[in-house]
Amino acid sequence: MHMDFSFSYYIGLAGIMVFAISGAIAALEHKEHHHDVFSVFFTGFITAIGGGTLRDITLGNYPVSWVKDENILWAIFLGFLLVIFFPKLLTKLRNELFLFDTLGIGIYTVLGTRIALDHGVNFFASALLGMISAIFGGVIRDTLMNEVPFIFRKEIYATACLAGAILYLILNSFSTNGNMNLVVSASVVVLIRIVAVRYNLGLPKIKIF
């Protein structure tokens, strides 16, 4: 996909930055972590680029995003600096960060699904790759922190991405208004996520053991 300097591009960069912040904070909150500047930066970096990189190498979509576009690295570095110099501000802005993270996964889901479609990928694989773009940085972050990934422990998160990806694919098959489809689908991800957190909603659980 041609990455133009559009609205979605800048929201995507903001999402990357927030992913990096969440990774850096996870490093700082972790007991076994060394908490030095490198390990904090690198945890943020992996969290931020993990999902998109996995999508790109699964698709053979070269060069992968952060290798092609240096702005992604600067967004990550900016997030890292914010964590180091304004930790108290970030603590106060927890709600705003949540909103950015949610916007980030919304945009990332739809952009990832779009990139998969552009590679001629089938319907459900495109939806899964869109979701993976959005969530897998967090999965890798948690795995490196030696924890069961939060997507397996918490309320609706990945499912919101999957729903948004599927909606985008359906809209896309009816309409050629790409920007409208993108905004609507990403908004649905954001909406589902916010409603799920606000009302503490979860998917039905399976109990067989």
Contact residues toward a copy of itself (CB under 8 A) are 27-30, 32-40, 42-43, 45, 53, 57-60, 62-64, 66-68, 70, 73, 83-84, 87-88, 116, 119-125, 128-129, 139, 143-149, 151-154, 156, 158-159, 162, 202-209
Shortest separation between residue 96's beta carbon and a copy of itself, angstroms: 18
**Among 52, 13, 34, which Cα is nearest to 136's?**
52
* Total residue count of the chain as it appears in this document: 209
Nearest-approach distance from CB 179 to a copy of itself, in angstroms: 26
Residue number, 120 or 176, with CB nearest to a copy of itself: 120
In angstroms, give the least distance from the CB of 180 to a copy of itself.
27
Residue (8 or 126) nearer to a copy of itself, CB? 126
Whole-angstrom distance, CA of residue 204 vs CA of residue 82:
38
Q: What are phi and psi of 101, to 5 degrees?
A: -60, -40
Residue 90 or 183: which CB sits closer to a copy of itself? 90
Residues 6+ apart with CB under 8 A from 201: 155, 156, 195
What is the C-alpha end-to-end distance of the chain, expressed in Å?
A: 45
Give whichever of 100 and 136 is closer to a copy of itself, judged by the CB atom: 136
Helix pair 37-59, 123-144: axis angle to 10 deg: 160
